[in-house]
Chain A
């Protein structure tokens, strides 16, 4: 650039320098704080699940059915809190603590269902309900099939 001009119009920074500059200026999210909150909230959800299972066992229900009752109840609670617009608030604070447990899975199915109702039952709810949970299902089911196959090989073939 000629010296008559006020400014250099070329940005004098490489992509990686700029990336470093961004990292140095961006507010860091507090890793330790996030981990602690996630641990507490996630732990509380698990305790609730255990509590439900134990109460079911108290009623003389056998273990497998008691686990199912616990799962279904947690899924219901997740869906209810989502519909009451509370789960998004919990998620904002708890992060993975409320995403990873089964209540989070429920939230990820119910939230798009609510949102896409405006496009109708087929192209709205039907087509978008698994928009968030879909990848989890695809890879969850795929990996469980592969593991099942390995398990089968180990137990029945060798």
Chain B
């Protein structure tokens, strides 16, 4: 049901039943290493190219999600998945042999929330019972598409972020399956916001206004305040983008800094890991939510969170043509024990 201007209220309370995550070697050196279910020491994941590596990682992650819940592929009604590569090849090749109906998504780094949002809508409409939402990214495949060759000797901008090699998958089901689950109660699909940032190596700052817009609309539409949530988690503003978000809220005399965490800043130790402002990419919010945050929800350390995945919707082509960066943010309200 639509509430307010742009928010969807889920009356059937779709539930995030289970999650699975897989990451690469660099993410395993970060502070969240112990939360990731699967990982590989090999940046190629045993494959010959980086693109194949990304597909292999996502495929392994989805298969693990299905098997650890004692399900078979034909128990899954639908997969929503997306990634950063042209034509979304990582997802298509990962899902090629699964024989599960597949809808590909592109929302840049916002893809994972877009998938969760669409999954919830399908559950609410009762057109599917068990849906997987997933997203992936790989540092090396993203670098070669968006930036310079890996071995090119250049300096990164002080505001740049490093694409996360990782993926996450969530099994979204209807709440009949269990009474005390982790529910998706509201979703606020974002509007595109563009404040004229052109710098491709400062996507955090480009996306912060989109996050502001989505949070503001979400809170107004649901009649909530920031106090309602234990945590507002954005995916992937990075350190600099998070500062910008805090600044935007400050202008409205609201302090968000105590309530806000960012997946891009959480996944790496930015002081020692040579990632400048933190992580980015579809796989960042997907892997951090599917591991650390889901774990915190399960253990009731967090009970009410607002998960906001953000996307910078430019391409190298549009940037070379002098375009600014259109940005988007989708919010999902995830809550324990809904009464």
Interface residues in chain A, defined as those with a beta carbon under 8 Å from any beta carbon in chain B? 5-9, 11-13, 15-16, 18-19, 21-22, 25-29, 34, 82-83, 85, 87-92, 94-95, 98-99, 104, 107-108, 110-112, 114-116, 118, 131-132
Contacts and interface: CB of A to CB of B under 8 A. Distances in A.
Interface stretch (B65-73, B117-125, B167-175, B192-200): B192-200
Given A18-B195, A94-B153, A112-B152, 18 more contacts: A6-B219, A7-B215, A7-B254, A9-B217, A11-B193, A11-B248, A13-B195, A22-B202, A22-B205, A26-B159, A29-B155, A87-B151, A88-B151, A91-B155, A95-B154, A110-B151, A111-B151, A115-B144
Contacts of A114: 149-151
B225 A13 contact: no
B220 A9 contact: yes
Interface of B: 5, 48-51, 144, 148-159, 193, 195-197, 202, 205, 209, 212-213, 215-217, 219-220, 223-226, 240, 243-244, 247-248, 251-252, 254
A128 B40 CA distance: 29
**Which of A18, A111, A116 counts the most B-chain CB atoms under 10 A from its CB?**
A18
Contacts of B240: 25-27
Contacts of A94: 153
A11 B212 contact: yes
B158 A29 contact: yes
A99 B153 contact: yes
A91 B148 CA distance: 13
A131 B50 CA distance: 19
Nearest to A110: B151
A26 B152 CA distance: 25
Contacts of A90: 153
A7 B219 contact: yes
Contacts of B225: 6
Contact of A8 (B5, B155, B252): B252
B152 A132 contact: yes
24 contacts: A6-B223, A9-B5, A11-B193, A11-B195, A11-B248, A13-B248, A18-B197, A19-B196, A21-B244, A21-B247, A22-B202, A22-B205, A26-B202, A26-B205, A27-B240, A88-B153, A108-B152, A110-B151, A111-B148, A111-B149, A111-B153, A112-B149, A115-B144, A116-B144
Nearest to A103: B153
